């Protein structure tokens, strides 16, 4: 009888604790409404049409010094790329090649992507350490290295979106559920046949 009373008392205590916890959650909510000032550091994306670009400006002549100091160690003095870091310059005919070279000049469809990516992710290991004008200057320098703009052209929130990339029209905008209904890649096939697997190739190489 005594054990039963203890069990009932323990159950009532646990129930009371649960009710109190639920009541406290209603009275003491975690967090707070996010203010515009708290959102601002995260709201740095730039759209293809240039929406989101901040104030500031720069040209290729200004960007060269910044590039040599902050970027050349990875991307090469002339944008050729070093080691595992990608090249920034490339032929504008790359989309017609069997192996596409995805450089800025040969692959990127929008000039504003330069600002967005550099501002968010570069320099490697010290992202978001550049000012808006420095990012504009670097964007101008990379565009000039690819012979897309002249070295004295000023890039800012108004001029950068107006730069038309060489392969801007080389991309297909997805429409509907089947984009291949109106556009087919080179030597398209109706079915995919798997002739070998990477795991099998590795085993064969190890056996040799």
Give the model's pLDDT for residue 204: 55
Give the model's pLDDT for residue 77: 95
pLDDT in tens, 32-66: 888 999 998 889 999 999 999 999 999 999 999 99
State yes or no: pLDDT of 188 exceeds 50.
yes
State yes or no: pLDDT of 202 exceeds 50.
no
Give the model's pLDDT for residue 32: 82
State yes or no: pLDDT of 205 exceeds 80.
no
Say which residue, 44 or 31, is predicted with more confidence. Answer: 44
To the nearest 10°, the Cα dihedral for 21, 26, 28, 32?
Answer: 140
Say which residue, 206 or 135, is predicted with more confidence. Answer: 135
Give the model's pLDDT for residue 7: 57
DSSP letters, 34-98, are PPHHHHTTT-----TT-TT--S-EEEHHHHHHHHHHHTHHHH-TTS---TTSPPS---TTGGGSS
Q: Residue 105: name the closest of 76, 130, 80, 71 by CA.
A: 80
The answer to whether domain 43-172 has CATH 3.40.190.10 is no
Q: CA-CA distance, 108 to 94, in Å (whole number)? A: 11
Could you tell me if 176 and 147 are in contact, meaning their C-beta atoms sit under 8 angstroms apart? Answer: no
State yes or no: pLDDT of 70 exceeds 80.
yes
Domain spans of the chain? Answer: 2-29, 43-172
Could you tell me if 186 and 170 are in contact, meaning their C-beta atoms sit under 8 angstroms apart? Answer: no
Say which residue, 20 or 74, is predicted with more confidence. Answer: 74
Local structure of 148: helix, strand or coil: coil
Q: What is the pTM of this model?
A: 0.69
State yes or no: pLDDT of 75 exceeds 70.
yes
pLDDT in tens, 78-106: 999 999 999 999 876 656 667 777 889 88
Give the bridge partners for 110, in sequence order: 164
Could you tell me if 30 and 114 are in contact, meaning their C-beta atoms sit under 8 angstroms apart? Answer: no
Q: CA-CA distance, 16 to 22, in Å (whole number)? A: 10
Q: CA-CA distance, 50 to 42, in Å (whole number)? A: 17
Q: CA-CA distance, 205 to 49, in Å (whole number)? A: 49
């Amino acid at each position: 009888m005594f054990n039963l009373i203890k069990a009932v008392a323990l159950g009532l205590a646990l129930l009371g604790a649960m009710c109190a916890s639920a009541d406290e959650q209603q009275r003491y909510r975690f967090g707070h409404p996010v203010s515009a000032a708290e959102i601002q550091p995260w709201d740095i994306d730039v759209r293809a049409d240039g929406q989101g670009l901040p104030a500031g400006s720069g040209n290729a002549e200004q960007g060269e010094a910044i590039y040599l100091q902050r970027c050349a160690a990875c991307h090469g003095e002339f944008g050729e790329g070093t080691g595992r870091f990608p090249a920034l310059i490339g032929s504008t005919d790359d989309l017609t090649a069997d192996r596409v070279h995805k450089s800025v000049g040969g692959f990127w469809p929008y000039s504003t992507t330069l600002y967005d990516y550099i501002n968010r992710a570069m320099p490697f290991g010290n992202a978001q350490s550049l000012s808006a004008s420095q990012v504009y200057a670097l964007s101008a320098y990379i565009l000039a290295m690819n012979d897309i703009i002249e070295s004295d052209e000023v890039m800012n929130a108004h001029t950068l979106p107006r730069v038309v990339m060489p392969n801007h029209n080389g991309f297909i905008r997805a429409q509907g559920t089947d984009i291949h209904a109106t556009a087919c890649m080179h030597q398209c096939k109706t079915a995919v046949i798997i002739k070998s697997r990477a795991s099998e190739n590795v085993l064969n190489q190890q056996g040799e």
